Structure 1
Amino acid sequence: MSTSTSASVGKRALVTGASSGIGAAIARELANLDVDLVLTARRRDALSAVAATCNGVKVEIIAADLGKPDGARTLWAAATANGPIDILINNAGFGYFRCFDEVDWARDAELVQLNMTSLVALARCFVDAHKTTTTPAHMVNIASTGAYQSVPNMALYAASKAFVRNFSEALHDEQSGTPLSVTCICPGGTDTAFHAASGGGDYSWIANASTKSAEFVAQATLRAMWRGKRTVVPGLLNKLTCFGVRFLSRPLASRVATHVLGRPRLALPVRGEV
């Protein structure tokens, strides 16, 4: 039995943004490791479809909107009603590919709530629940390679992910030496519905070459989680990009990001979760 498999026995995980993309892929990987699941997102039908692919484990689905101010604590109460949560995957989030002043403030407020405030609220619930724990517990917060620099046309999204990265790394260090591990995952472009939902642009060859599947990111995420890693960037090209940006001035890094991501599309679809 592998270390990850033995560590997963008897565990129960809460995965947010589990209706598609990285969240759904992580749910399936956890199910393969015999981890029972609580899956949440806004769309119950999509959650049910993902749950049907998670064989051999107990799966609960909770339709919830973490873009609402009271969403996180309501979700936590529902998720823990039938037992403790040993693994928290803070994956829910969304972004848009537009100039800041072209998007309605209500959408920005929802982004801040979902990407940051609800993530922090769930993290607090999880940490409080494991203050006296003696068995391993794991928190994973999904950030982005955008956390390493400013990203024009994704100004608020990238800033929110920089927050997630810094917050997660600080929690990791605070919890050092305890049974609770905190890992930050910073994916680059991933082949999910995020790009269509964000109104993504005409990406350069670099962006396309570095794009990974949701399954690749999910597997990298769980390897990092079981090993108690601090921060992991899945994919060699993404790693090189995040390492290399430290040698550029911040204005130059911002211009490079603009070139890599190309132009926004003309129409901005309705919000999608990743």
Structure 2
Amino acid sequence: MNTYTGGNSRTRALVTGASSGIGAAIARELATLGFDLVLTARRRAALDEVAAMCQGVNVEIVTADLGKPDAARMLWDKATANGPIDILINNAGFGYFRRFDEVDWARDAELVQLNMTSLVALARCFVDAHKASTRPAYVVNIASTGAYQSVPNMALYAASKAFVRNFSEALHDEHHGTPLSVTCICPGGTDTAFHAASGGGSYSWIADASTKSAEFVAHASIRAMLRRQRTVVPGLFNKLSCFGMRFVTRRFASRLSTYVLGKPRLMLPNRQEA
């Protein structure tokens, strides 16, 4: 664990999957607001680069692989060693763009662990830590627009994000009127390394038109968090797409997602957190 010393903010945020993409952008957004940071991911060198860009705040780095059992508890213990965590950003996750039966089960087990089990474990640690606290506390869980329908060739990933959405909304409602707020963010296509790492195919014009930058998603996420909103879909096109799902059959929505995402590429790269 290394510390990059900057300002003297009293609010500390833990950001998972902070080495790139949305997680890195959220870390930078939080730093501009003066929040101290604990950044975690598997790749130490990438975390160092992100930390160097978060000026004026204290930044701690904890390398961890949340795709492994019990990693969440160990991460929480290290993250809270120097003080309480007031903001939890559950961003770490990965997916692949392949038929379910074309991927090794060990990879699926890792996806379930990272996208769901570790997220729940960290949320439990956070909620338990704030049961008797009167300080404002925030959880942000990053889901996906894939949470609004089944997605062939991303069956397990989309299902994991539907879980994250339902879990987050229930926690938000359970803690309504308390100092603790839970916000679910459902980004659409985002300009990060996630798509190349997932083996994504040739996207349609719909996917291209709705793609947002990681900075756009990060700004929308933190604004929604501070407003204590329940669920937010960043981007007008994405909002309209998710809203429209309630007016079509689930079978049609599934077929539409197949058209929007195109066909998988031949090779499936190594796992990339996002």
TM-score, scaled relative to structure 2: 0.97
Could you say which residue in structure 2 is the equivalent of 1:197? 197
Please provide the CA RMSD for this pair.
Answer: 0.8
- Which amino acid in structure 1 is aligned with residue 99 of structure 2? C
Q: How does 1:80-229 map to 2 (within 5 A)?
A: 80-229=80-229
Could you say which residue in structure 2 is the equivalent of 1:20? 20
Could you say which residue in structure 1 is the equivalent of 2:5? none
| Aligned partner of residue 56 in structure 2, secondary structure | coil
| Aligned partner of residue 139 in structure 1, secondary structure | strand
Q: Deviations over 1:77-136 (max 9, x none)?
A: 000000000000000000000000000000000000000000000000000000011010
Contact 2:140 2:182 in 1 (8 A): yes
Q: Deviations over 1:162-196 (max 9, x none)?
A: 00000000000000010000000000000000000
In the TM superposition, structure 1's runs of 4+ consecutive aligned residues that sit over 6 Å from their partners are none
Q: How does 1:11-90 map to 2 (within 5 A)?
A: 11-90=11-90
Could you say which residue in structure 2 is the equivalent of 1:230? 230
Contact 2:9 2:57 in 1 (8 A): no
Distance, in Å, in 2 between the alignment partners of 1:168 and 1:201 is 30
Q: Deviations over 1:245-270 (max 9, x none)?
A: 11110111000000000000010000
- Which amino acid in structure 1 is aligned with residue 230 of structure 2? R
Ranges in structure 1 where 5+ consecutive residues have no aligned partner? 1-7
Distance, in Å, in 1 between the alignment partners of 2:259 and 2:57 is 45
Deviation at 1:9, TM superposition (A): 5.3
Distance, in Å, in 2 between the alignment partners of 1:20 and 1:259 is 28
Distance, in Å, in 2 between the alignment partners of 1:68 and 1:96 is 18
TM-score, scaled relative to structure 1: 0.97
| Aligned partner of residue 240 in structure 2, secondary structure | helix
Distance, in Å, in 2 between the alignment partners of 1:125 and 1:174 is 16
Could you say which residue in structure 2 is the equivalent of 1:4? none
Could you say which residue in structure 2 is the equivalent of 1:244? 244
Ranges in structure 2 where 5+ consecutive residues have no aligned partner? 1-7
Q: Deviations over 1:19-46 (max 9, x none)?
A: 0000000000000001000000000000
| Equivalent residue pairs, number | 267
Could you say which residue in structure 2 is the equivalent of 1:5? none
Percent sequence identity is 81
Could you say which residue in structure 1 is the equivalent of 2:3? none
Distance, in Å, in 1 between the alignment partners of 2:33 and 2:254 is 40
- Which amino acid in structure 1 is aligned with residue 194 of structure 2? F
Q: Deviations over 1:199-250 (max 9, x none)?
A: 0010000000000000000000001000000000000000000000111101
Distance, in Å, in 1 between the alignment partners of 2:87 and 2:44 is 22
Deviation at 1:10, TM superposition (A): 2.0
Could you say which residue in structure 1 is the equivalent of 2:273? 273
